[in-house]
Structure 1
Amino acid sequence: MSATHGTPAVAEKVGTLDAPRSPYRRKARTRGNAELYSWVFMRASGVVLVVLVFGHLFVNLMVGDGVKAIDFAFVGGKWTSPFWQIWDLLMLWLAMIHGTNGVRTIINDYAERDVTRGILKSLLYVAFTIVVVLGTLVIFTFEPCPANADPDLLASFCTE
C-alpha cells in the first residue's frame, strides 16, 4: 500500500539496510564461537589467577619469616603437600594458557601476512608446550631430600 492511502509504504529492505521492524536474523559465522569462548576464558582465568597469585605471594612473603625464609628447604617443604603442588600447577597452567591466548590475539591483530602469523603462532605454541611440560614435571618430580646434598640446605623433615 502507498502512503497516499494512509498506511506507510515500507519495503522489506531499503537499499542494503533491513527495515526497522524486520526481525533480527543472525548472519552466518565463519569462525564459530571460538573467539567468544576465548574472551570469556580470559576474564574467568584472570579472576582465578588474581586469587592464586595473591595467595602465593601472601604465603611466600607474609607468613612466617617473609622473603628471608625462601630457600630450597622452604620450596621442598611446600611441595611435599599435594595442596601446594596442585595450587602451583593451576597457577602455572592458567598463567601459561592465559598468556598464550593473549599473545595469540596480538599476533592475529598485528601480523599482516599469513606466513608470518603462522610462524609466530607455531613458535608461541612450542614455547607454551615446553614451559607447561617442564613446569609440570618439576612440580611433580621435585625431590626435597636429594642424596649427597648439604644438610644445612635441606628441610627439617629430611633424614640422612
Structure 2
Amino acid sequence: MYETYTTIIGTVVSEPRRRQTTTGEEVISFRVACNSRRIDKRSQEWIDGPTLYLTVSCWRRLLAGVGLAVAKGRPVIAHGQIKTNEYVTADGEKRSDLEMTASAVGLDLSRCVVTYQGTPGAAGHARVVEAVDRSTLDHAAPSAA
C-alpha cells in the first residue's frame, strides 16, 4: 500500500482529547484548521483562502509532549501519514474526514513564543511556559535586506 505523508501548519480548533482504545493503547486527538493566505496585489492586504480541517492523532512517544504543549488556539506544525476516514452517521448519511497519524508535532514558533525545559522521560520535562499569539502582528511580506 502507498502511504501519503504530509506536513500541515495550522491552529488547534478543539481541546485535545486523550483516550484509550479497546486494546488499552492511549491516543491524543485534536482538530486543526489550516488556512492559506496570500497578498491581494490590488489592495496589498492579506486574504485568507479556503480552510482545510483535519484530525491529528498522536500515539506512543508523542503523548507526553503533545499532552503538555498542545491546546485549543495554539499554532502547530504536524507531520505524518494522512488518510480519509469514511463513515455513516446515525442518520444514514455517508461522510468522510481527513485524519493524520502524526509522527511529529510542534508549536509554530513563527506565531508563538515558548520556553523549552528538558525532554519527556529525562530529568526535566517539556512545558509551555509562555505562548503568545502573534496573529495580530504585522503580516507584511519580509522585506529584502
The structure with the largest alpha-carbon Rg is: 1
TM over 0.5: same fold? Answer: no
- In the superposition, the TM-score normalised over structure 2's length comes to 0.23
Q: Normalised by the size of structure 1, how large is the TM-score?
A: 0.21
More strand by share: 2
- Answer 1 or 2: which has greater helix percent: 1
